Structure formats: structure tokens, C-alpha cells
């Protein structure tokens, strides 16, 4: 049985109190233990419900931590779930915005836009609201007579120009109403690596395993979790294709770059330790040799090479962003980009269109030339 505690409350203070409300995983499902867990039994049922609906383990863990924070706040306020109303949720969100994180600059330090640098991001607070909203929606599903304290706002924009309509309209995800309590989130564009940074980072990799992993993200656009989930049967080196399992257990076929295929082949023949595991990438050294490489192990590898090369932006996902940016700059069709990157919605893929400075500069120069000819 594994006990997990995020160690941070709404005031940012750490606590080693073993009786404190915390999240626990017994190998099958997540549940709350500690002080006040009996009052929050609905949370355990909700997390089990999400598990039955095939939600990913990472989503369950994130929602569990968010509900632990919500439960601790309710206990501190002397409230039960039955006492939660819309004003109570507003107070909870205000407490989240006022919270500070240890190890961050003080509240008097702000960024160029005037935002504090010691608190939670708007995305984190909105995710907590999503977890709480799902909890009360689950309660309303079980007992329709109980009110849902989370107000609904306008429907989220999911229909894009050129989307499926008519007989194919059922293939489009229906718009979902978003809560009016959501915070505005800043729109951030993916930050790719430039050619010099990517060359330095890949040049520091010494093993065939690490080169193959980086190549799959940089030249094939795979997510780090997709790379770690690759089985040997998913790699068809002869035909040059990969079978990739993405988010939501969605399967897609991705072309395999020739150089990356050679790196994978060299790793399988020269470096991969003997193991009963079907995963492609395994731990090479230490007591866990032969076991599947974990996300923590992958982060350790990239953290070491970031320090070695000085490429501070050399995170695994930055390589995937570089792949998407290269596709946009090459003028690849948006639908093809969506298929290669495994995005569920074309809106996510469209972010990379704004990251094609070469194409923007060419269009700008052409427009300026036309204007000058007309003047």
C-alpha cells in the first residue's frame, strides 16, 4: 500500500502530521485517508468511478490531489460536502489564489505583466475547479435531488470552421458548458528548440537508447509517455512505421524516420539488456536493470544533459514542439499535422501555425512589396 502526500496546503506550509488528510493508493484505486476521510467518502467513490471510465492514472492522481486540497480546506472551515454552495466555492478559489508556494519569490515579486510569482497558476486553479465540479456532478448523477453548487457558463467553443456537419456531425465532440467560476488562462505558444540548441542536446547523448528516445520525439513527434509505452511489436523497422498509443488510448500510425530506425536497431542489438519486459526502452544500469524505463528516469536523463550542455529549455516535450514547428514551417496540411501529433482537436494543432516565423516573414515581405507597387 502506497501513501502519497503532496506536502503543501493552501498556505504553502509543509506538514509531517501522519493523521492529516492525504491520498493513498492501494494498487487498485485511489482513496483518502487520515483526519476527515470519513466525511469525504464521496471522493473515494468518485475516483473509483473515474477509474471505471478508463481515466488515465495521471489524471486520477491529479484529481485526487486537487480533492485532497479541497477537503483540507473544508475541514479547516468546519464544513461538510453538504454545506458547499456557490459562495463557498468562491471562497475556496479565493484561498487558492491567495496561497503561496515555498521556494518561490515573495509576494512583492511580480512578472512584467504584474502577476505574482509565488502562487498557483490559473491552469492549476482551474484544474482544481474541474475536479470539484466533477465530484458534485457525480453526486447529482447519483441523487438528482441534490443541487450542484457549480454554476455553468457558456458552452466551450469546439466547432471550428470546416468542421464536420450534416450527416457527419455526430463525429464532432459536443460543446461542453464551462463553469462561470473559471479563471482566465494566458494563451501560451509552444516553445521549440532552435537548430543550435537541438544539435547541442542531441550531440551530448552517448547511448543508442538515449539517441533513439530523443529522435522519436524530435523526428517523429512522439510524446515522452508514448515513447516509454512502445512495445517491441509496435516498431516495424522494415516498413518504417510505428504503432503509437496516445492520450485516451487512441491508436495511430506514425512514419519512422530512417536515422531513428537505425538508432533503435542498434540499441536492440547492442545495448538492450535481457528482460521479460516487452517494452522497447529499459533501464540499463543499477538494481532496476532490465525493467521498463519510467517517466522519472527519463526526466533524470534530460536533466543531466541540460546541465551538461546548458540548453535550459531542453525538456522532452520541447523536442516534440520542435517537430510540430518544423511541420508548420514546411507548410504541411493542418489535418496531416493533427494526425502525426495525435491531437484530439485541430485547435491544439493550430497553435503551431503561429510558430512559423519564416513563413510569416515571407508573407509580410510579399504584402509590403505589393503595397509599395500600388503607392
- CATH number of the domain to which 67 belongs: 1.10.150.130
pLDDT digits over 152-209, tens only?
A: 765 444 444 444 555 555 555 555 566 677 777 777 777 888 889 999 999 999 999 9
Query: Can you give the pLDDT at residue 23?
Result: 87
For residues 107 and 27, membership in a common domain is answered with yes
Residue pair 126/183 in contact (Cβ under 8 Å)? The answer is: yes
Residue 148 lies in a domain: yes
Residue pair 99/12 in contact (Cβ under 8 Å)? The answer is: yes
Percent of the chain with pLDDT over 70: 82
Q: Give the other-Cβ count within 10 Å of 322's Cβ.
A: 23
Query: Can you give the pLDDT at residue 35?
Result: 84
The CA distance from 293 to 310, in Å, is 24
For residues 226 and 289, membership in a common domain is answered with yes
Residue 16: pLDDT band (50, 70, 90) is: very low
Residue 186 lies in a domain: no
Residue 335 Cα distances to 159, 191, 220, 290, 347, angstroms? 15, 21, 16, 39, 11
Query: Can you give the pLDDT at residue 74?
Result: 92
Closest CA to 39 of 86, 81, 89, 87: 81
Percent of the chain with pLDDT over 90: 45
pLDDT digits over 87-108, tens only?
A: 999 999 999 888 877 766 666 6
The residue with cell 470539484 is 132
For residues 154 and 213, membership in a common domain is answered with no
What is the mean pLDDT of the segment spanning 278-291? 93
Residue 54: pLDDT band (50, 70, 90) is: confident
Residue 29 lies in a domain: yes
Query: Can you give the pLDDT at residue 107?
Result: 60
Query: Can you give the pLDDT at residue 26?
Result: 76
Q: Which range, of 69-78, 153-162, 227-236, averages the lowest pLDDT? A: 153-162
Residue 166 lies in a domain: no
Rg of the chain in Å (alpha carbons): 24
Q: Give the other-Cβ count within 10 Å of 79's Cβ.
A: 16
Query: Can you give the pLDDT at residue 252?
Result: 92
For residues 101 and 245, membership in a common domain is answered with no
Residue 260 lies in a domain: yes
**pLDDT at 7 > cutoff 60:** no
For residues 140 and 216, membership in a common domain is answered with no
Residue 36: pLDDT band (50, 70, 90) is: confident
Query: Can you give the pLDDT at residue 166?
Result: 52
CATH code of residue 256: 1.10.443.10
Residue 240 lies in a domain: yes
Residues acting as catalytic residues: 223, 247, 317, 320, 343, 352
* Residue 129 three-state SS: helix
Query: Can you give the pLDDT at residue 18?
Result: 55
Q: What residue numbers bound the domain in which 283 lies?
A: 195-358
For residues 8 and 114, membership in a common domain is answered with yes
Segment (H or E) for 179: strand 177-179
Q: What does pTM read for this prediction? A: 0.73
Segment (H or E) for 350: helix 346-350
For residues 152 and 210, membership in a common domain is answered with no
Closest CA to 209 of 289, 309, 327: 289
In 3-state terms the chain splits into helix, strand, coil percentages (rounded to 5) of 50, 10, 40
For residues 109 and 209, membership in a common domain is answered with no
Query: Can you give the pLDDT at residue 11?
Result: 41
Residue 1: pLDDT band (50, 70, 90) is: very low
Residue pair 132/149 in contact (Cβ under 8 Å)? The answer is: no
Residue pair 31/40 in contact (Cβ under 8 Å)? The answer is: no
For residues 204 and 327, membership in a common domain is answered with yes
Residue 221 lies in a domain: yes
The residue with cell 537508447 is 209
* Cell output for 21: 488528510
Amino acid at each position: 500500500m502506497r501513501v502519497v502526500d503532496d506536502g503543501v496546503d493552501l498556505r504553502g506550509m509543509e506538514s509531517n502530521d501522519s493523521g492529516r488528510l492525504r491520498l493513498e493508493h492501494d494498487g487498485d484505486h485511489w482513496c483518502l485517508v487520515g483526519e476527515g476521510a470519513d466525511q469525504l467518502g464521496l471522493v473515494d467513490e468518485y475516483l473509483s468511478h473515474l477509474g471505471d471510465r478508463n481515466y488515465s492514472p495521471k489524471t486520477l492522481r491529479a484529481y485526487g490531489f486537487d480533492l485532497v486540497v479541497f477537503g483540507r480546506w473544508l475541514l479547516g472551515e468546519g464544513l461538510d460536502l453538504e454545506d458547499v454552495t456557490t459562495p463557498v466555492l468562491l471562497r475556496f478559489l479565493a484561498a487558492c489564489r491567495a496561497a503561496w508556494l515555498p521556494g518561490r519569490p515573495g509576494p512583492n515579486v511580480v512578472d512584467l505583466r504584474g502577476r505574482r510569482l509565488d502562487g498557483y497558476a490559473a491552469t492549476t486553479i482551474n484544474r482544481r475547479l474541474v475536479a470539484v465540479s466533477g465530484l458534485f456532478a457525480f453526486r447529482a448523477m447519483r441523487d438528482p435531488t441534490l443541487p450542484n453548487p457549480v454554476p455553468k457558463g457558456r458552452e466551450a467553443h469546439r466547432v471550428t470552421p470546416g468542421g464536420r456537419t450534416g450527416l457527419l456531425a455526430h463525429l464532432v465532440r459536443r460543446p461542453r458548458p464551462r463553469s462561470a467560476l473559471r479563471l482566465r488562462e494566458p494563451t501560451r505558444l509552444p516553445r521549440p528548440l532552435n537548430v543550435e540548441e537541438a544539435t547541442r542536446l542531441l550531440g551530448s547523448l552517448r547511448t543508442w537508447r538515449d539517441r533513439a528516445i530523443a529522435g522519436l520525439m524530435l523526428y517523429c513527434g512522439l510524446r515522452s509517455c508514448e515513447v516509454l509505452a512502445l512495445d517491441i511489436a509496435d516498431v516495424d523497422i522494415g516498413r518504417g512505421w510505428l504503432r503509437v498509443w496516445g492520450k485516451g488510448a487512441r491508436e495511430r500510425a506514425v512514419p519512422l524516420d530512417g536515422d531513428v530506425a537505425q538508432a533503435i536497431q542498434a540499441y536492440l542489438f547492442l545495448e538492450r539488456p535481457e528482460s521479460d519486459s516487452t517494452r522497447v526502452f529499459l533501464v540499463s544500469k543499477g538494481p532496476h536493470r532490465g525493467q521498463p524505463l519510467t517517466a522519472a528516469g527519463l526526466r533524470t536523463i534530460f536533466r543531466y544533459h541540460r546541465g551538461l550542455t546548458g540548453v535550459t529549455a531542453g525538456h522532452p516535450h520541447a523536442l516534440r514542439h520542435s517537430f510540430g514547428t518544423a511541420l508548420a514551417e514546411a507548410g504541411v496540411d493542418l489535418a496531416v499535422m493533427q494526425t502525426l501529433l495525435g491531437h484530439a482537436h485541430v485547435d491544439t494543432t493550430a497553435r503551431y501555425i503561429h510558430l512559423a516565423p519564416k513563413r510569416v516573414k515571407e508573407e509580410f515581405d510579399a504584402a509590403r512589396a505589393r503595397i509599395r507597387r500600388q503607392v
